[in-house]
Structure 1
Amino acid sequence: MSRLFCFGLGYSAETLAARLAHQGWQIAGTGRDSANVQRLEAQGYAMVRFAGEPGNHALVEQLRGTTHLLHSIPPGRSGDPVLAHYRDAIAHLSSLAWIGYLSTVGVYGDQQGNWVDETARTLPNSARTEARVEAEQAWLAFGEETGVPVQIFRLAGIYGPGRSVFDKLRDGTALRVKKDGQVFSRIHVEDIAGVLEASIARPRGGATYNVADDEPAAPGDVVAYAAELIGVPPPAEVPFEEADLTPMARSFYEGNRRIANTRIKSELGVKLRFPTFREGLAALLEETAPSRSA
C-alpha cells in the first residue's frame, strides 16, 4: 500500500494528496493548527499537529509505513526542523522510496530578468532564501547518505482556487505595481501536483526541478488581464517606490528572473495543463462561474 506523508499538508501538498487519495493511497501529514488538522481528518487523512518541535511521538508513529514523503515546511532560524528533529526516524523507514522537498525559485535571487535553469548558481539575497539553499543542500546530502531518492522542487509563484488575483480584485486589495523590466514566473497548483506525480513515477535521486509555467510576465499585466476577464476596470498603476507593500511582498521585487522549465518536460514528460497565466485564470473563472441548469 502506497502511503504519502506530508510535512506541512498545506495548499500545494493537499492538491497532490487529493489526487493520490483518489487512486487509493493512504494520506498522512502534519498541520500547525487544530482547525486545519480536523478539516483534513474529516477527509480521511491521518493528521498530527506539528509546529517544528522535537519529541513528537505521534508524528513518529504516523511516519510508519511511509513510502513517499513530501516536505513543504519552510526552514526556521535554526534550520530545517524536520531534519533537525526527525532525521533518524526518517532514515530508518525501510519502506521509503521517494522524498520531495518543496523549495522556491527565490534561491536564484536577482538575475536581472535573465532566464535561469537548474544549473544556474543560487544567489540568495535574504536570510530566508539563504536558509532555503541550506535546507536543499541538507536534504540532498541526506539522500546521498541514505540512498533514498531526494528531489528538490523550486516553485514559482503559486496560484489556484482561492488563491489568485481574482480574489484580490473582488475584495479591492489588488495592486497593479509598475517596476520597469520586472517579471515574475508563476505556476498553477494543479501543475505542481502534476510535476510531483511525474517525479513519483520516475524518481531521480539528487535532481532539482524548476516548477514554473512557460511565460514569465509583468505583475501588472496579469492583474489587467484578470480584470478584463471579469469585466472590471483594472486598478491604476502604482510606481513600485510608492506602492503600499508589506516587507515580504516588497522583497519579492528584489528578484527579477525568468524561470526556465525545460527539465520537467524533458526528464519527467510533463505537459503543463496551464502553460501560461491566461489558461490558468480562464480555468479559475470557469470553475467559479454559476452552473447552468439544462
Structure 2
Amino acid sequence: MTRSPVFHQPRLLIVGCGDVGMRVLPLVRGRCRVFALTSQPQRCAELRAAGAIPIVADLDRPDTLARLRGLADWVLHLAPPQPDGAADRRTRHLVAALGKVERMAYVSTTGVYGDCGGELVHESRPVAPRNARAQRRVDAERVLRAWALVNGTRLSILRAPGIYAADRLPLKRLELGTPALRPEDDVYTNHIHADDLARIAWVALLRGRPGRVVNAVDDTRMKMADYFDAVADAFHMARPPRLARAELQQVVTPMLLSYMSESRRLDNARLKRELRMRLRYPDVTAALAGFAANSALDRAAPRSGTIADQKGH
C-alpha cells in the first residue's frame, strides 16, 4: 500500500557535513530522513550518532558518487570548491551524479561581490569576484542555476560572510598579535553565527523562492579591525596593532591580505522578509559578551575527577 503523503518524510542529503552541517542535524531530526556525504570513513560513527545515515564518497572522485542518484528529495550543499582552478569541479561532479532533486539550498559566499568600496550591497548587485576562491563560487552558482532550470529543482542560493561561533573566534590571531588595518585603510566586514546559518539553510529549503539569492548575514555593520578589537575586549586580550595598508601587506599572508582588501556592507532585508528569519545572534558585539560570560563561568565551575562528569559538563 502506498503511504499517505501526510506521513512522508523527505529524504535530505547534506553535502559537506562539517561544522554548519552538524548544526543542521538537530533541526531536521524527526522531519527528514537524513543522509550525510563524507569522504572520511572515520566520521561515520559521529554522523550516525547525530542522526544521519553516512554515505562515504568523494566529490573529487566522480566514480564514487553513483549512489547519490535518486537518493534524496532535498539537498543541502555546504561543500566548498576544491582549492584550485576557476571552475568548481566538485559542484559539477555533484549535479552530474544527483539527477532530479525537488529542492536544493547552496551556501555560497559574499566574496562573489568583490570589493564594493564599503557600499550597501543588495542581492541584485552584479557579481565581481576578485580572486580565484570567489570565481569558483560564482561558477558553482551558475552551474547550479542551469542544472536547477533543466531539472525543475527549487534552488536557493545563500551568500554567507565570515562565520563565527564561540569556538570559531580569532583568538589565536590575537594571541599572535597579528596586525590589523588602521581606521582610514580598514574595510567593512560581515558576519553570521554558525547556528543562525544552519537555521537559515534549513528554512531556505522550506521557504526559499526558486532561483532566489539571499544574503545570509546578521545586522552588524562593523569594520574588520573593530571586530578584532571587540573580540579582544570581550576576552580581556590585547587589541591588535594597527598598520597602514602598505606596511601590513609586508607582514601578512596574501590570502589574509585579500580578505582585508574587500569592503562591503550586506543588506539582509530579503532574509527577513522572504525567509521570515529572526536571528538568534543579530549583533556580533552582544554575542561576544555572551561567549565571554559563558567562558568565565566554565573556568569558574568546579571540575569533577570522573570522565563521565567531565563529558557531561
TM-score (ref. length: structure 1): 0.87
- Structure 1 CA distance for aligned equivalents of residues 218 and 284 of structure 2: 8
Shift of 1:100: 0.9
Instruction: Provide the secondary structure at the position in 1 that maps to 2:163.
Output: strand
Instruction: Provide the secondary structure at the position in 1 that maps to 2:230.
Output: helix
Q: Which amino acid aligns with 2:74?
A: H
Structure 1 match to 2:3: none
- Structure 1 CA distance for aligned equivalents of residues 80 and 112 of structure 2: 13
Structure 1 match to 2:124: 119
Q: Deviations over 1:8-49 (max 9, x none)?
A: 11122221123212x453322223434444433443422214
Instruction: Provide the secondary structure at the position in 1 that maps to 2:176.
Output: coil
Match among 181, 188, 196 for residue 193 of structure 2: 188
Point out the more displaced range, 189-198 or 45-54. 45-54
* Structure 2 residue 275 is the aligned partner of structure 1 residue 268: yes
Q: Which amino acid aligns with 1:144?
A: L
Shift of 1:78: 6.7
- Structure 2 CA distance for aligned equivalents of residues 97 and 188 of structure 1: 28
- Give the 3 Å change call, closer, same or farther, for CA 285–66 of structure 1 in structure 2: farther
Percent of counterpart pairs with the same letter?
Answer: 26
- Structure 2 CA distance for aligned equivalents of residues 69 and 287 of structure 1: 35
Structure 1 match to 2:5: none
Q: How does 1:1-294 map to 2 (within 5 A)?
A: 1-21=9-29, 23-47=30-54, 48-56=56-64, 59-61=65-67, 64-76=70-82, 77=85, 79-92=87-100, 96-166=101-171, 168-169=173-174, 172-173=175-176, 175-179=178-182, 180-243=185-248, 244-288=251-295, 289-290=297-298
Q: Which runs of 5+ in 2 are unaligned?
A: 1-8, 303-313
Residue pair 1:140, 1:151 contacting (<8 A) in 2 also: no
- Give the 3 Å change call, closer, same or farther, for CA 86–107 of structure 1 in structure 2: closer
The root-mean-square deviation of aligned C-alpha atoms, in Å, is 2.4
- Structure 1 CA distance for aligned equivalents of residues 260 and 41 of structure 2: 34
Shift of 1:134: 1.7
Shift of 1:260: 0.9
- Structure 2 CA distance for aligned equivalents of residues 102 and 174 of structure 1: 31
- Structure 1 CA distance for aligned equivalents of residues 293 and 47 of structure 2: 26
Instruction: Provide the secondary structure at the position in 2 that maps to 1:14.
Output: helix
Instruction: Provide the secondary structure at the position in 2 that maps to 1:55.
Output: helix
Shift of 1:275: 1.3
- Give the 3 Å change call, closer, same or farther, for CA 44–272 of structure 1 in structure 2: closer
Shift of 1:107: 0.5
Q: Which runs of 5+ in 1 are unaligned?
A: none
Greater gyration radius: 2
- Structure 2 CA distance for aligned equivalents of residues 248 and 190 of structure 1: 26
- Structure 2 CA distance for aligned equivalents of residues 240 and 143 of structure 1: 42
Q: Deviations over 1:120-145 (max 9, x none)?
A: 01111122212211210110111111
